[in-house]
Amino acid sequence: MNALPLDGITVVACEQAVAAPLATRQLADLGARVIKVERPGTGDFARGYDETVRGMSSHFVWLNRSKESITLDLKQPEAAEVMERLIGRADVFIQNFAPGAAERLGLGAEELRARHPRLITCSVSGYGSSGPYRDAKAYDLLIQAEAGLLSVTGSEDAPAKTGIPSADISAGMYAFSGILAALYERERTGRGSAVEINLLDSLVEWMGYPFYYTEYGGTPPVRAGTSHAAIAPYGTFTAGDGTEIVLAVQNEREWVSFCRTVLDRPELATDERFHNGSQRVANRRALEEHIAEVLSGLTGEQLEQRLAEGRIAHARQRGVAELSTHPQLLARDRFTEVRSPIGPFTAVRPAIGLHGRTARMDPVPALGEHTEAVLEELGYDDPARRRLRADSAVQ
C-alpha cells in the first residue's frame, strides 16, 4: 500500500499564478486532496500563460497536477453556501486574492477560524497585510527588484532577473512548510492557526547572505555573472573545444590540488598574488588569465578527468534542453508520465523522496472537470446543481 503522509487531508485553494499553486501541488504530492476553486470561463490565469505543452501552459502543468478543479463565481450569493460547505470539510484553506478581497468575500482568516476552529488558513500576498506597500501589485520581477535580487544578479555591466520566478517560488515553499508546521501543531493542540506568507518577506529571507555582507561589510556584493564576489576561481570556464565547465575552488586544499593536478603549475599555489582566498579575489583577472591559457589546450573530457583526479568541485554548464538526458537524473528515474486533458506528458518527480513510497502524480485537471462530482459530494442534488448553473454560481 502506498500510503502517503497527507492522506486524508483536504485543502481548498482559491489560487492562481505560481506561489499558492506551488504550495498546494506539493501538498498533493504528499497525498493531500486539493480542491482548486477557479473562475468560471477563464480559471486560473496561468492556464493562459502559453500553449507550449501540447496546447497547455508550461506553468500550469508544472503546478497543478493531482488537483481537482471546480468552477465557482465567488461574487454570486449562491456561491457563499458552496464555499461554506467546502471549507466545513477542509483541513486547510489557502488563498492569494488581492489584499482585502478574502475579507470582502467572507473568507478572511479570522472569520473562517471563528466558525471552524480546526481549520488552517494560509494567505499568500505580495507585500503582506499591512504597511505602505500592502495594495501594490506584486509580480515576480517587481519583488526581485524590491528585494535587491536584481542588484546582485547579472553581469558587471547590467543587472538581470533570475531565469525562474524566484519570488513566487520562495513564497510557495514557505507557504508549503508553514502549512505543514500548522498541521503538526494541530495534532498537539487540536486547533488550527493562520499562516501568512508574502513574496517580499520570502525573497528577502533568501537575500540573507548579501544583506549581512552589505550591512556589516560596507559594500554590496558585486554582480559577477557566474563568478562569486568572495571566492576565486569560481564560475564558468571554457575548454579548448568549447565545453563550458563551472569551477568552485573554495578552500586551500582544493586550490593546491587545482594548481598541481589541473593546471600542472604547482608554483601558482604559493604565488603571493594567489596564496589565499582574499589575494585570489583581488587578483582575479590575472588568475583567470593563467587558467584560460591552460584550459585552451584541453578538451572538455580531458579537463573533467583532471578535475576528478584532483577532487576539484566542478560541473558541466548545461542548457535546459539537456535536463531530460542528464545521466544522473536518468539513472535515478527522475522522470515519469502525467496525464492531462491533452494527453500524457513527461514530468519531473517531486524533490521530496519517501523511502518505499511513490509520490502522487495524478492528472492535471481541465477547468471545472470536478465541479459536478464535488457538488454532489457536498449534498447538492441534480435540481440544486442545475439551479447553481442557472444562477451562474458555477459553470
The per-residue pLDDT for range 4-45, each reduced to its tens digit, is 999 999 999 999 999 999 999 999 999 999 999 999 999 999
Output 93 or 78, whichever has higher pLDDT.
93
Residue 319 has pLDDT above 60, yes or no: yes
Q: Quote the pLDDT of residue 1.
A: 52
Q: In this structure, what C-alpha cell is assigned to residue 345? A: 506528458
> Rounded to two decimals, what is the model's pTM?
0.88
Q: Quote the pLDDT of residue 311.
A: 93
Question: Residue 110, class by beta-carbon neighbours within 10 Å (0-12 exposed, 13-18 middle, 19+ buried)?
Answer: exposed
DSSP state string for 234-252: EEEEE-TTS-EEEEE--SH
Name the pLDDT band for 156 (thresholds 50, 70, 90).
confident
Q: Which residues pair with 335 in a beta bridge?
A: 348
Q: 3-class SS at 145?
A: helix
Q: Region 217-226: what's the mean pLDDT?
A: 83
DSSP state string for 210-238: HHHHHHHHSSPPPP-TTS-SS-SSEEEEE
CA 273 to chain CA centroid, nearest Å:
41
Q: Average model confidence (pLDDT) for the chain?
A: 92
Taken in order of first residue, the domains within the chain and their CATH numbers are: 10-207+330-390 (3.40.50.10540), 234-316 (3.30.1540.10)
Per residue in 208-225, is it b (16+ CB within 10 Å) or e — as a string? eebeebbeeeeeeeebbe
Residues designated catalytic:
228
